[in-house]
């Protein structure tokens, strides 16, 4: 496994991030534990979750599964850089979502972090991420709440997810005025197909020293050999959902076919190449992979050591051209 600094911090993290969103809804607890054990064996030390993960009727279940894994001991918690998120509504099952049961008010942040710590079975969170921007709560209030949590030792760093470039700037300028560290990472949708983050989000993250953590690196399975799996009748995600919707578009289908043809000729796995491509991109710390089974994790780990030649990178750029930087992409 290869490691890097998380943004401008001194924190060392693996260049692959284990996403846990499938733990609970799609992967049983025992299998989830086995995947986390395998990740540690492979040197993956960066685990990502969220308070709302676990399914619509079981929010928080994923954090509980991670917590029961930590409880097995063996230094599991000490070896892991643990990231979770706050924003979504977390009212108890069957109860009304009251106004202060979600978003980023100081009250909800205080309530949410204590609930996550209990579910996770730990006394601190390494990276506490804002799952979405809260347009109704002033940044001074948010940073005051975060500063208190840091002082209490409940969290170490704060990060964002799904922020626009100007949200990153706004957040970190407000933090700087307070003498706070501010955001150290941004978790955004970014892959070969979806490259809008290159216009402003990634430049803002680089400018403010945030590590970029791409989610959906295979674009919902589209970049994992979707057409081949469709032809062979394999893969749960090719018959419905985002991948199927994309393949129904003739222009997108032609792109994906060109991508698969290119990699078949080079004897390379599409999913591994999609991950390896992200690791070549400026500012990227590591993509999030959310394996449902052990084999998917093994494939992702192989991608970390996959060095893509320049001619292949150029061919990928022709198939999936980027948006270009801002403002040059839409002005002189």
CA 17, chain centre distance (Å): 7
Q: How many CB atoms lie within 10 A of CB 20?
A: 28
C-alpha span between 270 and 174 (Å, rounded): 42
Structure tokens that stand for 24 in this block: 């609970």
53, 128, 157, 208: the active-site residue: 53
What are the angstrom distances between the C-alpha of 273 and each of 25, 146, 260, 309? 27, 38, 10, 11
The contacts found for 320-327 with CB under 8 angstroms, 24 or more apart, are 320/192, 320/193, 320/195, 320/255, 320/259, 322/195, 322/198, 323/195, 323/196, 323/198, 323/199, 324/198, 324/199, 325/198, 325/199, 325/203, 326/165, 326/199, 326/200, 326/203
> CB of 198 within 8 A of CB of 171?
no
C-alpha span between 199 and 168 (Å, rounded): 14
> CB of 139 within 8 A of CB of 147?
no
C-alpha span between 255 and 257 (Å, rounded): 5
Respond yes or no: is residue 53 known to be catalytic. yes
> CB of 30 within 8 A of CB of 67?
no
Q: What is the DSSP letter of 136?
A: T
**Residue whose pair of structure tokens reads 């063996």 in the numeric block:** 74
Catalytic residue IDs:
53
């Amino acid at each position: 496994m290869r490691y890097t600094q998380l943004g401008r911090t001194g924190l060392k993290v693996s260049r692959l991030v284990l996403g846990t969103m499938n733990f609970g809804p799609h992967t049983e607890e025992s299998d989830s534990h086995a995947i986390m054990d395998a990740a540690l064996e492979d040197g993956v030390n960066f685990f990502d979750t969220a308070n709302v993960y676990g399914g619509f009727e079981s929010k928080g279940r994923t954090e509980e599964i991670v917590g029961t894994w930590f409880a097995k001991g063996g230094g599991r918690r000490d070896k892991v850089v643990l990231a979770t998120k706050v924003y979504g509504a977390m009212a108890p099952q069957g109860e009304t979502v009251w106004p202060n049961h979600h978003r980023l008010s100081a009250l909800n942040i205080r309530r949410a972090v204590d609930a996550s710590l209990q579910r996770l079975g730990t006394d601190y969170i390494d990276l506490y991420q804002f799952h979405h921007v809260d347009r109704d709560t002033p940044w001074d209030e948010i940073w005051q709440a975060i500063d208190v949590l840091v002082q209490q030792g409940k969290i170490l760093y704060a990060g964002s997810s799904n922020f626009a470039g100007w949200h990153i700037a706004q957040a970190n300028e407000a933090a700087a005025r307070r003498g706070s560290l501010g955001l150290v990472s941004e978790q955004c949708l970014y892959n070969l197909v979806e490259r809008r983050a290159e216009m402003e989000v990634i430049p803002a993250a680089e400018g403010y020293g945030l590590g970029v953590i791409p989610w959906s690196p295979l674009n919902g399975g589209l970049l994992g050999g979707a057409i081949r799996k469709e032809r062979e009748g394999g893969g749960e995600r090719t018959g419905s959902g985002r991948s199927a919707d994309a393949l129904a578009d003739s222009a997108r289908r032609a792109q994906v076919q060109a991508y698969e043809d290119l990699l078949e000729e080079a004897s390379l796995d599409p999913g591994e190449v999609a991950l390896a491509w992200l690791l070549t991109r400026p500012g990227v710390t590591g993509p999030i992979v959310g394996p449902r089974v052990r084999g998917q994790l093994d494939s992702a780990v192989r991608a970390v050591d996959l060095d893509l030649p320049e001619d292949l990178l150029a061919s990928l750029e022709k198939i999936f051209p980027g948006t270009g930087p801002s403002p040059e992409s839409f002005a002189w």
